[in-house]
Amino acid sequence: MYINGEFMDSKSGNEITVINPSTGEEISTVPEATREEAQEAIDAAYEAEKTWKFVPAATRGQYLHEIANEIREHKDLFAEMLQEEQGKIKSLAMTEILFSADYFDYMGSASRTYEGEILQSDNRNENIMIAKQPIGVVAGILPWNFPFFLIARKMGPALVTGNTIVLKPSSDTPNLALEFAKTVEKVGIPKGVVNIISGRGGVVGDELTKNHKIGIISLTGSTKSGKRVMEGASEHLAKVSLELGGKAPGIICSDADIDFAVQSIIDSRIDNNGQICNNCERLYVQEDVADEVIEKLSKKLSEVTVGDPMEDESIGMGPLINQEALDKVSGMVDRAVEAGGKITAGGHKLKIKNGFYYEPTVITNVKQDSEIVQHEVFGPVLPVLTFKTLDEAIEMANDTTYGLTSSIFTQNLDTAARAAN
């Protein structure tokens, strides 16, 4: 862990075992922080913020530029670690690392435009002055599916605006965050400004949501986790920023470029091994092209190579994150089949080493109100339904408790605009 500028183990002696999802083998162990150690990190950030907020914004931004440079210099190490603990294919792993560097640069440049405003008032002889002040200590709770980029997304805006931060990586992917702490140390960010603690959500995460010294909680994770954060934050009225689950609909109209639409949906569905909250999770196809779309989807998804992405760079898709995720995906597909669903591609776990693999899967003959259509799968599974009219497709697409994103494939701009509105 990295607390107040020092690397340390947990005083409890407890550790979290990190597993390579591609092989099922142990990679490492990391400290399992106690509630008291989480409090120590929060206290360090709270004290550091008292002086950090007075550091000129341009200077704070320069630290972020230096971090970006360090990331690029060590991109191969970070990308390899990302592949090892999360199972990304190499190209996506490197993309995540370089995007993170770009985002730190972006936020570093934003320091030059961080300023207040003076507005004219309706009242005579009065002006309105708006001065932007830091909130204080930010709690950044990270997901496992983009464990490096979300460091940048939470830490960059926090630091450039004069806040300090306590980052908690997922217990599935803590290695990258702890390695990143060495970068924080190297560029000389003052002690306590950035703290990184590994631990369980029920202990460390709970303290980060309920501690009254936390000014804002930024969580990227499941809807279930978001509800827990809201409950904890309500105890001391902390601000909350949540990016949660999704069930993104895709619509393919009869006038669409079918080959382009099919490839786009496939790329979306297998991206990050099917584990992205805003990629297409359910597909609606107009009836007169449904057979063609389903046939092409099923054929192309069946051709996707699945395996250990560190072993072969040509691999198209890696594993799910852990056994729990694999069992969840498998269970949802099995229940859909029991309810009458028809598998046209995939539908099974894969025995590759001891990893957590599931076949890219297409399932048809499912109902709009079924579990697999209404709830997030978070795996390489695509339920396909059909529609007659655009109004019907829009109604089904909007029939969800989730938000985030949607897509439509058509060559008619009016149709696309109508769906968007």
404: pLDDT confidence band, cut at 50, 70 and 90? confident
- Residues 194 and 262 occupy one common structural domain: no
- What letter represents residue 320's amino acid? L
Nearest to 178 by CA among 154, 155, 195, 200: 195
Q: Which string of DSSP letters, residue by residue, matches 18-60?
A: EE-TTT--EEEEEE---HHHHHHHHHHHHHHHHHHTTS-HHHH
- Residues 237 and 361 occupy one common structural domain: no
pTM passes above 0.75: yes
Q: Which string of DSSP letters, residue by residue, matches 320-334?
A: -SSHHHHHHHHHHHH
pLDDT at position 401: 86
State which of 209, 243, 277 marks the end of a domain: 243
Which letter does DSSP use for residue 210 in this model? H
Q: Tell me the backbone φ, ψ of residue 60, rounded to 5 degrees.
A: -60, -40
What CATH number did the domain enclosing 152 receive?
3.40.605.10
pLDDT at position 115: 82
- Residue 227 placed within a domain: yes
State which of 205, 227, 243 marks the end of a domain: 243
The catalytic residue positions are 243
- Residue 390 placed within a domain: yes
State which of 224, 243, 262 marks the end of a domain: 243
- Residues 235 and 253 occupy one common structural domain: no
pLDDT at position 297: 98
- Residue 126 placed within a domain: no
Q: How do residues 71-125 score in pLDDT, each as one tens digit? A: 999 999 999 999 999 999 999 999 999 999 999 999 999 999 888 888 888 898 8
pLDDT at position 124: 86
- Residues 224 and 307 occupy one common structural domain: no
Q: How do residues 143-190 score in pLDDT, each as one tens digit? A: 999 999 999 999 999 999 999 999 999 999 999 999 999 999 999 999
pLDDT at position 402: 83
Domain that holds residue 402: 248-420
193: pLDDT confidence band, cut at 50, 70 and 90? very high
403 pLDDT more than 80 = no
- Residue 122 placed within a domain: no
Q: Which string of DSSP letters, residue by residue, matches 334-385?
A: HHHHHTT-EEEE--SEE-STT--EE--EEEES--TTSHHHHS---SSEEEEE
> Measured between alpha carbons, how far is 30 from 18 in angstroms, rounded to an integer?
8
Q: How do residues 284-336 score in pLDDT, each as one tens digit? A: 999 999 999 999 999 999 999 999 999 999 999 999 999 999 999 999 999 99
User: Percent of the chain beyond pLDDT 70?
Assistant: 100
- Residue 54 placed within a domain: yes
pLDDT at position 116: 85
- Residues 142 and 160 occupy one common structural domain: yes
pLDDT at position 415: 96
What CATH number did the domain enclosing 362 receive?
3.40.309.10
> What mean pLDDT, rounded, does the chain reach?
97
- Residue 231 placed within a domain: yes
Structurally, how many domains does the chain consist of?
2
pLDDT at position 380: 98
- Residue 157 placed within a domain: yes
- Residues 159 and 278 occupy one common structural domain: no
219 pLDDT more than 90 = yes
276: pLDDT confidence band, cut at 50, 70 and 90? very high
- Residues 73 and 213 occupy one common structural domain: yes
- Residues 279 and 234 occupy one common structural domain: no
Place of tokens 């069930």: 247
- Residues 229 and 337 occupy one common structural domain: no
Residues 231-258 have a mean pLDDT of: 95
- Listed range (140-149, 259-268, 395-404) with the worst mean pLDDT: 395-404
- Residue 124 placed within a domain: no
The DSSP element (H or E) to which 93 belongs, if any, is helix 90-110
- Residues 21 and 57 occupy one common structural domain: yes
- Residues 205 and 333 occupy one common structural domain: no
pLDDT at position 153: 98
- Residues 342 and 220 occupy one common structural domain: no
